[in-house]
């Protein structure tokens, strides 16, 4: 069975800096011990009791924009266990009551039918307004996803209600990006088509991987299709997929990825793809060969023998796609651009330094504030990252750098290039299971994370939150709401609206019907 050794978990089996080991060990040891105890007890030792009660847990404020918020939670049967330390689902009603005063939650948004994986969208919110809310199922108030290891907050933009048993919790909506809306871009990564086990860590037997339920479709396929569909529903004009399109570079997995992504539009026009370390050529993790196969990523997404990096002009907006694993290696080492690519990239930045520019590539330039030990394998090589940041410092037009690889939502602004938002986006393939929507206005831009709303995607995302002994949310969701939702004001008026060649069903930043 093939598995994923995702970059942050790979760090646990690598040899990171001793200080990193001590710091992360203090955070991770309790969870590892819990996982060990579970493993020793075995399935027979786990509680299988079904009680009449209902537990409403894992409350998350996923999306927060100027006019809407998406709130999710899970209802389960207390005392049950699906074999991965997770309650069995309890399908029931769900509603969010909310208002502008904690004592007057007079507005209600309810789901249409009973579900266990709840997904409620609040709409018609006022920008810059503080709201209080409580999510309930059968009268039971949902409790937040705990993020104590990172001193995070999954449910609000302030700490109101944290420590209580169900809130109300609170958030303040941001202002919209100034000016008129120009276009929207879906930022996604780490589809891992072909993967069968999430979060399996080589060398740490107690860190169990999570597999799909028997009889269900493979989870990378479910999640990838759902994200493409969600991106279209949310009004994305363009989609960027920043690497690890496949689990192991197999031709059939990249062909399936191509087929799924073609559901969004035309490759090279509506959507763009770059390579991740899992997509590297001929690395022997392929179902159809013994390591001697060619470059299936090139066969699937690149034209002929040309470069694996590119720049495109979309009505004045420049999109630069980087191949951050243009090198030999086993995939676990740091990312790197070939000398020719790096020189090309720096020349592009020099020649049009003021042009509004979005850069995307698999490895981030820097990894800050990780719950797991940070090794070189989680980012681009330090020297290259520094030279790119130096180039950004002299290129005021660059405003966003989108990366994957870390499988987490994290917004970072570095002092070397404070005009550039470095946005790491969590993986498509598992929890929290979604993408970020970049909405570009003439006077600024917003980044908002959306979970895939498809029911099967919600089920797998919930199941896979148990990756890393249940620690995965501390890493992947984002320490704060602003790690996955932000607004930045800046002049982007040089960009024009894309030509109206888009399918009619795309609606700007629209909502899904409640289930
Ligand atoms: Fe990945």
pLDDT digits (tens, 9 = 90+) for 450-478: 999 999 999 999 999 999 989 999 999 99
The mean pLDDT of the chain is 88
For residue 437, the SS3 value is strand
- Look at residue 41 and tell me whether its pLDDT is greater than 50: no
Report CA(240)–ligand 1 centroid distance (Å).
15
Asked if the structure places residue 316 within a domain, the reply is yes
- Ligand 1 centroid–CA 70 distance in Å is 25
Place of tokens 């479910």: 222
427 alpha carbon – ligand 1 mean position (Å): 7
Omega into 432 within 30° of 0, i.e. cis?
yes
For residue 18, the CA-to-ligand 1 centroid distance in Å is 25
CA of residue 320 to ligand 1 center, whole Å:
20
Query: How much is the pLDDT for 288?
Result: 52
CA of 189 to the centre of ligand 1 (A): 8
Distance of CA 191 from the midpoint of ligand 1 (Å):
7
pLDDT score at 23: 55
Range in 13-17, 244-248, 284-288, 411-415 the model is least confident about: 284-288
pLDDT reported for residue 294: 83
Do residues 172 and 184 make contact, with C-beta atoms less than 8 angstroms apart? no
Q: From the CA of 86, how far away is ligand 1's center (Å)?
A: 24
Place of tokens 């037997």: 205
Average pLDDT over residues 368-394: 94
Q: Is the peptide bond before 168 cis (omega within 30 degrees of 0)?
A: yes
Q: Are 410 and 426 in contact (CB under 8 A)?
A: no
The whole-number average pLDDT for the span 154-168 is 95
- Angle among Cα 233, 169, 143 to the nearest 5 degrees reads 85
Dihedral sign of CA atoms 462, 231, 478, 425 in order: positive
Please say whether the beta carbons of 20 and 210 come within 8 A. Answer: no
**Residue 406 — pLDDT band, cuts 50, 70, 90?**
very high
pLDDT at 404 over 50: yes
CA 509 to ligand 1 centroid distance, Å? 27
Domain contains 497: no
Q: Which of 51, 201, 66, 179 is nearest to 122 (CA)?
A: 66
Distance CA 508, CA 264 (A): 15
- For residues 280 and 247, the answer to whether their CB atoms sit within 8 Å is no
Ligand 1 centroid, distance to 251 Cα (angstroms): 17
Q: Is residue 456 part of a domain?
A: yes
What CATH number has the domain bearing residue 445? 3.60.21.10
Question: Is the pLDDT at 27 greater than 90, yes or no?
Answer: no
pTM assigned to the model: 0.90
Same-domain check for residues 122 and 197: no
Query: What is residue 249's predicted lDDT score, i.e. its pLDDT?
Result: 95
Q: Which of 10, 27, 5 is nearest to 374 (CA)?
A: 10
How far, in Å, from the CA of 211 to the mean position of ligand 1? 16
Statement to judge: residues 282 and 154 lie in one domain: no
Q: Which of 56-70, 113-127, 257-271, 492-506 has the lowest mean pLDDT?
A: 492-506
First to last CA, the chain: 35
Q: Report which of 363, 360, 357 is spatially closest to residue 398, judged by C-alpha positions.
A: 357
Contact 331, 285 (CB under 8 A): no
C-alpha 217 to ligand 1 mean position (Å): 20
What are the percentages of helix, strand and coil residues in the chain, rounded to 5? 25, 25, 50
334 and 195 in a common domain: yes
- Comparing 13 with 3, the larger pLDDT belongs to 13
Residue 222 falls inside a structural domain: yes
Residue 116 Cα, ligand 1 centroid: separation in angstroms? 28
Ligand 1 geometric centre to CA of 405 (Å): 5
Look up tokens 């020349």; give the residue: 347
**Residue 290 lies in domain:** 181-489
Distance 184 CA to ligand 1 centre (A): 24
Token pair for 443: 């006077």
Q: The tokens 């109206």 sit on which residue?
A: 500
Distance 216 CA to ligand 1 centre (A): 22
**What distance in angstroms lies between residue 187's CA and the mean position of ligand 1's atoms?**
14
In this predicted structure, the answer to whether residue 290 has a pLDDT above a threshold of 60 is no
Distance 6 CA to ligand 1 centre (A): 5
Q: What spacing in Å lies between the alpha carbon of 407 and ligand 1's midpoint?
A: 6
Question: Residues 286-300: what's their mean pLDDT?
Answer: 71
- Is residue 213 located within the same domain as residue 351? yes
278 Cα: distance to centroid of ligand 1 (angstroms) = 7
Q: Which residues surround ligand 1, an ion (CB under 5 A)?
A: 190, 244
511 belongs to a structural domain: no
Buried-exposed string 489-513: b where 16+ CB fall within 10 A, e elsewhere: ebebeebeebeeebeeebeebebee
193 shares its domain with 144:
no
Cα of 279 from ligand 1 centre, angstroms: 10
CA–CA separation, 24 and 474 (whole Å)? 12
Residue 47 lies in a domain: no
Which CATH number is 132's domain given?
2.60.40.10
Note whether 71 and 147 are same-domain residues.
yes
How far does residue 63's CA lie from ligand 1's centre (Å)?
A: 23
Q: Output the CA 48–ligand 1 centroid distance in Å.
A: 34
> How high is the pLDDT of residue 85?
85
Domain boundary among 147, 172, 197: 172
My answer on whether 214 and 156 are in the same domain is no
Exposed / middle / buried, residue 221 (Cβ in 10 Å: 0-12, 13-18, 19+): buried
Q: Residues 236, 152: one domain?
A: no
256 CA to middle of ligand 1, Å? 17
**43 pLDDT exceeds 80?**
no
Q: Distance, CA 448 to ligand 1 centroid (Å)?
A: 21
* 69 CA to centre of ligand 1 in angstroms: 28
Distance from C-alpha of 95 to C-alpha of 93, rounded to nearest angstrom: 7
Q: How far is the CA of 464 from the centre of ligand 1 (A)?
A: 15
CA pair distance 253, 515, nearest whole angstrom: 31
Structure confidence at residue 311 (pLDDT): 97
Q: Which residues pair with 500 in a beta bridge?
A: none
* 451 Cα: distance to centroid of ligand 1 (angstroms): 17
**Residue 44 pLDDT:** 36
Residue 159 CA to chain centroid, in angstroms?
24
Contact, 392 vs 185, CB < 8 A? no
The confidence score (pLDDT) of residue 51 equals 41
Query: What are the backbone angles phi and psi of residue 364, rounded to the nearest 5°?
Result: -70, 160
User: What tokens does 322 get?
Assistant: 């980087």
- List the one residue out of 26, 32, 76, 31 whose CA is nearest residue 56: 76
Return d(Cα 363, Cα 337) in angstroms, integer: 10
Residues 251 and 377 placed together within one structural domain of the fold: yes
Q: Report the pLDDT value the prediction gives residue 325, as an integer from 0 to 100.
A: 97
Identify the pLDDT of residue 497. 79
Q: Does residue 168 lie within any of the structural domains?
A: yes
Cβ 199 vs Cβ 468: under 8 Å = yes
Torsion sign (Cα): 181, 183, 189, 194:
positive
- Ligand 1: centre distance to CA 254 (Å): 14
Tell me, yes or no, whether 35 lies in a domain: no
- By percentage, how much of the chain surpasses pLDDT 70? 83
Distance 176 CA to ligand 1 centre (A): 32
| Dihedral pair phi/psi, residue 340, rounded to 5° | -65, -40
185 shares a domain with 162 = no
Residue 206 has pLDDT above 90, yes or no: no
Distance CA 335, CA 249 (A): 16
Structure tokens that stand for 75 in this block? 């209802």
Torsion of CA 10, 12, 15, 19, to 10 degrees: 130
Contacts of 254 (CB under 8 A, 6+ apart): 193, 245, 246, 279, 296, 297, 299, 300, 301
Which residue would you say has higher pLDDT here, 483 or 468? 483
Q: What sign does the dihedral 327-328-331-335 (CA atoms) show? A: negative
Do both 129 and 248 map to the same domain?
no
Same domain, 216 and 131: no
Q: How far apart are CA 446 and CA 438, in angstroms?
A: 6
Number of domains forming the structure of the chain: 2
Is it the case that residue 34 has pLDDT exceeding 90? no
List the beta bridge partners of residue 488: 445
């Amino acid at each position: 069975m093939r598995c994923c050794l995702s970059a942050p978990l790979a760090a646990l089996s690598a040899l990171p800096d001793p200080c990193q080991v001590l710091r992360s060990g203090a955070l991770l040891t309790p969870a590892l011990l819990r996982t060990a105890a579970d493993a020793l007890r075995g399935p027979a030792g786990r509680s299988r009791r079904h009680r009449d009660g209902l537990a409403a847990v894992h409350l998350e404020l996923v999306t927060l924009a100027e006019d809407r918020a998406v709130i999710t939670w899970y209802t389960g049967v207390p005392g049950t266990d699906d074999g991965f330390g997770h309650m069995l689902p309890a399908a029931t009603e769900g509603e969010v009551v909310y208002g502008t005063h904690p004592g007057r939650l007079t507005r209600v948004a309810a789901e249409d039918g009973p579900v266990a994986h709840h997904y409620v969208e609040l709409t018609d919110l006022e920008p810059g307004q503080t709201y209080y809310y409580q999510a309930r199922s059968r009268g039971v108030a949902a409790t937040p996803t705990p993020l104590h290891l990172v001193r995070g907050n999954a449910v609000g933009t302030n700490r109101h209600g944290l420590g209580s048993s169900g809130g109300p919790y609170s958030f303040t909506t941001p202002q919209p990006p100034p000016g008129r809306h120009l276009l929207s871009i879906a930022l996604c990564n780490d589809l891992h088509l072909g993967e069968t086990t999430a979060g399996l860590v080589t060398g740490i037997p107690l860190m169990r991987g999570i597999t799909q339920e028997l009889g269900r479709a493979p989870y990378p396929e479910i999640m990838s299709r759902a994200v493409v569909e969600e991106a279209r529903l949310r009004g994305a004009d363009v989609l960027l997929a920043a690497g690890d399109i496949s689990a192991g570079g197999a031709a059939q997995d990249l062909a399936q990825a191509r087929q799924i992504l073609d559901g969004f539009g035309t490759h090279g026009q509506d959507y763009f793809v770059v390579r991740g370390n899992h997509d590297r050529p001929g690395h022997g993790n392929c179902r159809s060969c013994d390591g001697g196969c060619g470059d299936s990523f090139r066969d699937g997404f690149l034209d002929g023998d040309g470069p694996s990096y590119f720049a495109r002009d979309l009505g004045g907006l420049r999109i630069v796609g980087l191949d951050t694993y243009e090198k030999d290696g086993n995939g676990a080492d740091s990312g790197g651009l070939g000398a020719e690519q790096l020189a090309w990239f720096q020349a592009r930045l020099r020649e049009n330094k003021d042009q509004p520019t979005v850069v995307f590539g698999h490895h981030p330039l820097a990894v800050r504030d990780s719950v797991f030990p940070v090794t070189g394998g989680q980012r681009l090589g330090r020297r290259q990252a520094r030279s790119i940041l130096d180039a950004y410092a002299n290129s005021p037009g660059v405003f966003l750098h989108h990366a994957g690889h870390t499988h987490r939502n994290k917004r970072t602004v570095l002092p070397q290039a404070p005009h550039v938002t470095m946005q790491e986006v969590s993986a498509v393939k598992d929890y929290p299971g979604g993408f970020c929507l970049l909405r570009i206005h003439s006077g600024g831009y917003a980044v908002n994370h959306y979970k895939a709303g498809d029911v099967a995607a919600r089920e797998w995302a919930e199941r896979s939150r148990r990756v890393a002994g249940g620690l995965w949310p501390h890493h992947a969701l984002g320490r704060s709401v602003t790690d996955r939702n932000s607004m930045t004001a800046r002049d982007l008026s040089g960009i024009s609206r894309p030509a109206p060649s888009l399918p009619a069903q795309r609606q700007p930043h629209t909502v899904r019907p409640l289930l």
